[in-house]
């Protein structure tokens, strides 16, 4: 793989830099190159926006988990539907 010079990076590298930037692991130059890439690449802009939304959702504290009784009831409902369809 050739090492590129300059500010132009591939979409793959932009996605890696996006992930690193999100976790505050990207250097100044990686962030700079990512922002240059995002100016002209619509697909990477969408990836970055979606990635940011997903991270914000995961950082919220209002995640509710099912207790054992609810899990068993859900499993029984799934099993019942599966047996009805067969």
Token pair 């207790």: residue: 67
Cβ-Cβ contacts under 8 Å for 44 (sequence gap 6 or more)? 11, 14, 15, 18, 37, 38
For the chain, counts of helices (H) and of strands (E): 4, 0
Instruction: Examine residue 42 and state whether it is found in any structural domain, yes or no.
Output: yes
Express each pLDDT in 30-52 by its tens digit: 999 999 999 999 999 999 999 99
Instruction: Examine residue 45 and state whether it is found in any structural domain, yes or no.
Output: yes
The span from the CA of 70 to the CA of 12, in Å, is: 41
CA dihedral 46, 47, 51, 57 (to 10 degrees): 40
Instruction: Examine residue 82 and state whether it is found in any structural domain, yes or no.
Output: no
Instruction: Examine residue 20 and state whether it is found in any structural domain, yes or no.
Output: yes
Residue 1's pLDDT band (boundaries 50, 70, 90)?
very low
Does this model's pTM top 0.85? My answer is no
Number of structural domains, the chain? 1
Instruction: Examine residue 19 and state whether it is found in any structural domain, yes or no.
Output: yes
Express each pLDDT in 47-76 by its tens digit: 999 999 988 888 877 767 889 999 999 999
Domain limits for position 23: 1-61
């Amino acid at each position: 793989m050739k090492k590129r010079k300059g500010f132009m990076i591939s979409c793959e590298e932009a996605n890696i830099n996006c992930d690193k930037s999100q976790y505050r692991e990207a250097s100044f130059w990686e962030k700079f190159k990512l922002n240059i890439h995002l100016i002209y690449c619509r697909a990477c802009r969408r990836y970055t926006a979606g990635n940011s939304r997903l991270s914000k959702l995961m950082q919220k504290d209002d995640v509710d988990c099912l207790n054992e009784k609810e899990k068993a009831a859900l499993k029984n409902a799934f099993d019942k539907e599966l047996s009805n369809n067969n």
